[in-house]
Chains A and B, each alone.
Chain A
Amino acid sequence: MKAWYAMLGIWMSAVIYEAFALPEIRGLVGHPIAYFHPPIAIVTFIAFLVAMIHGLRYLRWNDPIHDVKSSKAAEVGLLFCFLATVTGAMWSKANWGTFWSWDPKQTSIFVVLLIYAAYFSLRSSTPNPDRRHRLCAVYTVIGFISAVLLMFILPRIGFSLHPNDAMMGGGSDRPVRLLFWASVLGFSGVFAWMMELAVKLALMEMKIKEMSQ
């Protein structure tokens, strides 16, 4: 396990170093942030996908462990989502001159932020634990599907599209693409690590509560 953490640390340091070291790409301003914002946004969606999958597993098996995992994935996901919103605004400023430009991706990230903020207010206002687990699991499913629908719908109803897909596809050079996906992988690792810590902590808290009763 320790070796994994060490590797994750080295990996992320390398990604960060390279992001600043690589020369700027033509037509893509706001240079180093371009290697952080889209990967963080992608990991945000992965986090909420994980939250939904654990939510569905809770509904199937009724085991509180799935609720712990689902809620912790959403918690860490919310942090990533917040970072994605902030880095997105910075990038938008560098690229298009305004912090906020309501392009489909920026809008989706913002709506996802709202969905999961609502998720946590639902959690805190349902005192009965079984009910809380059940209702929250259902909400992760509805919330995720709605976010996916939004991403599907927005470009189709005439929201203006900014060309920021350049890096994922074939349009850019090999090192740029490589670094991009290395960054996605690195941030996914960071997410998995944070989620694991959060789940461990929550399980310990549960045990302490059980013992003190």
Chain B
Amino acid sequence: MTKSSLSGRKRNPSFWRSIGAIFGKDLASELRTRFAVNTLLLFSVTSLTIVSFSTARTPLTKEAQSALLWIVIFFSAMTGLARSFVREEESGTADALRLTAPAESVFLGKFAFNCVLLLCVEAVVVPLSLIFWAVSVDAPLFFTVVLFAGNIGLSAVATLMAAIVAQTSMQAGLFAVLSFPVLIPLLFTAVRATLLSMDAVRQVGEIAPVIRMLFVFDIVMLTLGFLLFDYIWRDRK
């Protein structure tokens, strides 16, 4: 116990292979059951439609558009990203994973899988919202970078919180409650950055610092997850 897995071991190729194996296993299960991706996509399209429909008569400001976009992405994430851990605990495979895989590989493997799930959501939500709201994105490159950076931070926090709520007694409700406040710095920044990337008159000098903040959040949360995941994952008693 005293020798924590945080100690600086050499990362050999088998470490990366185990991450790949966990990612591949989740992907294979998902492709067979399609549970998470269906929930995610249905939820995101439904909520997007409701928002667009109820605001069809009143043109949305760019502020409202970028905020709504991230609200839809956030809540979609909250419906599906806890799935992989909750299922692991429910079907009694979590202990098998604890016995055989290094904790860090579990974190990174699940993180990668959640990133891909969220990418699927964004691949549907973003084009649809651009069409529904007739948004013009003036800096498409920045816009993509913002989505990408937001995706990483959102997945990192969601992976940590999913591992936590999978061990509690009220998984579904708690997931969003725990994740939201921790994600606020990311969401505020992402909304701001999205707004800037939609606006033609903005200069690189104004967008770059905001995007840097997004990456600061990503790096901090990934590091924190990497360091703390073992404590979430394994019983100490």
Give A contacts to B, CB under 8 Å: 59, 62, 111, 114-115, 118, 121-122, 125-127, 130-131, 134-135, 137-139, 141-143, 145-146, 149-150, 152-154, 156-158
Quick check: A154 and B188 within 8 Å, CB to CB? yes
| A contact residues around B236 at 8 Å (CB) | 62, 130, 134
Q: Known contacts being A138-B231, A145-B224, is A126 close to B188, with CB within 8 Å?
A: no
Q: Assess the B228–A122 pair: CB atoms within 8 A.
A: no
Classify the secondary structure of B's interface with A. helix
B188 touches A118 (CB 8 A): no
- Residues of B192-206 at the interface with A, using a CB-CB cut-off of 8 Å, are 192-193
Flag B170-193 by CB within 8 Å of A: 1 or 0 each.
Answer: 100010011011111100110011
Known: A142-B224, A150-B184, A157-B210. A135 touches B174 (CB 8 A): no
Q: Cβ of B237 and Cβ of A130 under 8 Å apart?
A: yes
B185 near A153: Cβ-Cβ < 8 Å: yes
B binding-site residues for A, Cβ under 8 Å:
157, 160, 164, 167-170, 174, 177-178, 180-185, 188-189, 192-193, 209-210, 213, 216-217, 220, 224, 228, 231-232, 235-237
User: What CA separation (Å) do A157 and B216 show in the bound complex?
Assistant: 13
Tell me the complex Cα distance, A130–B236, Å: 8
| Cα separation A66 to B25 with both chains bound (whole Å) | 38
CB pair B177–A121 under 8 Å, yes or no, is yes
Smallest CB–CB gap between B33 and chain A, Å?
27
Task: Decide if B181 touches A114 in the complex (CB within 8 Å).
Answer: yes
The complex places the Cα of A47 from the Cα of B224 at a distance, in Å, of 21
Q: How far is the CB of B148 from chain A (nearest CB, A)?
A: 18
- Cα of A143 to Cα of B170 in the assembled complex, Å: 20
Contact in complex: A118, B220 (CB < 8 Å): no
Q: Nearest Cβ in chain B — how far from A93, in angstroms?
A: 24
> Complex Cα distance A125/B172, Å?
12
> Is B210 within 8 A of A131, CB to CB?
no
- State whether B192 touches A158 (Cβ < 8 A): yes
